[in-house]
Structures are given as C-alpha cells and as structure tokens.
Amino acid sequence: AQSVAQPEDQVNVAEGNPLTVKCTYSVSGNPYLFWYVQYPNRGLQFLLKYITGDNLVKGSYGFEAEFNKSQTSFHLKKPSALVSDSALYFCAVNSGGANNLFFGTGTRLTVIP
C-alpha cells in the first residue's frame, strides 16, 4: 500500500527565514515523489519531482526538496521565505508503474512579514 504523511497541518515562518515542510512516505518499490502548491481558489500547481538520480531536487520559485531513502522522507525547503509563498502545500507519491498519485493531507504555510 502507498501512503504519504505530512505531520504538520500548519507551519509559520518569518519572511526571510528558511522554511521546511515535512513529508514522509510509504511505498512498495521505488517511489516517485512530487510537491504541489495550492493558492486560494486555484488548482494544485506542480513544484518539483523526484524520480531518480540526485537526492536534491530543485523546482519552481526557488523551492527544493531532499529525498532521503533511509528515512523515507522528501522534505520541501526554501532558503528564504517570501510572504507570497503562503499557501497550502501537498506532497504526493506513487511507486513506479502506477499512474495515480497518493496525496498527503496538506500543510498550510504562513509566512509572516
């Protein structure tokens, strides 16, 4: 069975500080991992993905994520948060060969000016 856990419903960070949004996963087989962002009244937007290769993946808007196989984690990071980064963030996973994604419950990020 595949699953994703986002242990924090809410993350608050001051503008300019680094941010981390946590994600752990469980799959049988090699994981394909994704991060999405959702702004109010909008659909989910793709940020970045890990399929294979370098454990540090860079994506849109200065975000990056680190794949850690031993800890089954894929945390989203950004060195310096912007107020405009405030949004709902979703981690998603599938195992190689599957075509449907399993989404976490989402983490609401608030960047405080």
Partner 1 sequence: DAGVIQSPRHEVTEMGQEVTLRCKPISGHDYLFWYRQTMMRGLELLIYFNNNVPIDDSGMPEDRFSAKMPNASFSTLKIQPSEPRDSAVYFCASSTTGAGNQPQHFGDGTRLSIL
Q: Residue 34 class from Cβ within 10 Å (0-12 exposed, 13-18 middle, 19+ buried)? A: buried
34 lies in the site for partner 1, by CB under 8 A:
yes
Nearest to 48 by CA among 56, 109, 40: 56
Residue 53 in contact with partner 1, rule: CB under 8 A: no
Interaction of residue 63 with partner 1, rule CB under 8 A = no
Does 84 help bind partner 1 (rule: CB under 8 A)?
A: no
Secondary structure tally for the chain: helices H, strands E: 0, 12
Among 22, 75, 95, 108, binds partner 1 (CB under 8 A): 95
Q: How far is the CB of 3 from partner 1 (least distance, A)?
A: 13
51 contacts partner 1 (rule: CB under 8 A): yes
